[in-house]
């Protein structure tokens, strides 16, 4: 597949937006871990959380993801759709020969994370860390592409969910 075809596939699978990025478009900022540590009630529990044993730190993820050259950012107002689309693109890219393709998406595979009950992950082959939990400033990154994202002013406000597939 050509790079633009991955965006077409993402839209066909239900993404509201899908845009190509170059690795230089990804804004890394290790301060993202502060929002995880001190703003997330799942800290220390989720299987894709940066608090899990053996997890890398944001600056370590930056080194790894900097080896990629491009990928696709996926947007959906539905968290599960964002993740399903990103996993499908990761799989397609792998089949296309991009064997290091890797999806980042806030996990929505289960209605409740097994980690919250101190149980093993039931989908370890599909569970992926969130875009922000690996040290990526999602706001600055997606705003470059004029994609919708705002800080939430109330809990009833609709959210924008972003995933990214790092391809090569």
pLDDT reading at 115 higher than 80 = no
Structure confidence at residue 12 (pLDDT): 98
Task: Check if the beta carbon of residue 13 is closer than 8 Å to that of residue 141.
Answer: no
What does the DSSP 8-state code read for residue 136?
Answer: B
DSSP letter string over 56-117? PPHHHHHHHHTT--EEEEEEESSHHHHHHHHHHHHHHHHHTT-TT-EEEE---SSSS-GGGG
pLDDT > 90 fraction of the chain, expressed in percent and rounded: 58
Structure confidence at residue 144 (pLDDT): 96
Paired residues of 74 in beta bridges: 18, 163
Structure confidence at residue 44 (pLDDT): 76
- Residues whose CB is less than 8 angstroms from the CB of residue 37 and which lie 6 or more positions away in sequence, other chains included: 43, 51
pTM above 0.85, yes or no: yes
Structure confidence at residue 98 (pLDDT): 97
Give kind and range of the element (H or E) at residue 33. helix 32-39
Higher pLDDT, 140 or 45: 140
Number of domains in the chain: 1
pLDDT digits (tens, 9 = 90+) for 4-39: 999 999 999 999 999 999 999 999 998 988 888 887
Mean of pLDDT over the chain = 90
> What residue has token string 């592409």?
145
Distance, CA of 17 to CA of 8 (rounded, Å): 10
Higher pLDDT, 56 or 84: 84
Distance, CA of 80 to CA of 37 (rounded, Å): 23
pLDDT digits (tens, 9 = 90+) for 32-75: 888 888 877 778 777 777 877 788 888 899 999 999 999 999 99
**What band does 77 get if pLDDT is binned at 50, 70 and 90?**
very high
Structure confidence at residue 50 (pLDDT): 80
Integer angstrom CA distances of residue 9 from 40, 41, 74, 85, 105: 32, 34, 11, 9, 17
Range of the domain at 58: 3-166
């Amino acid at each position: 597949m050509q790079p633009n075809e991955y965006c077409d596939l993402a839209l066909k699978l239900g993404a509201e937006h899908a845009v190509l990025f170059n690795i230089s478009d990804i804004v890394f900022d290790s301060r993202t871990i502060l929002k995880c540590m001190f703003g997330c009630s799942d800290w220390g529990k989720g299987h894709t959380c940066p608090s899990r044993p053996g997890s890398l730190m944001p600056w370590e993820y930056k080194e790894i993801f900097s080896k990629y050259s491009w990928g696709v950012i996926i947007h959906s107002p539905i968290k599960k759709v964002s993740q399903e689309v990103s996993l499908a693109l990761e799989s397609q890219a792998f089949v296309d020969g991009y064997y290091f393709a890797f999806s980042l998406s806030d996990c929505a595979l289960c209605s409740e994370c097994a980690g919250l009950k101190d149980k093993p992950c039931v989908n370890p082959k599909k569970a992926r860390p969130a875009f922000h939990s690996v040290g990526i400033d999602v706001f600055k990154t997606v705003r470059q592409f004029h994609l919708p994202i705002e800080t939430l002013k109330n809990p009833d406000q609709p959210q924008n969910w972003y995933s990214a597939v790092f391809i090569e």
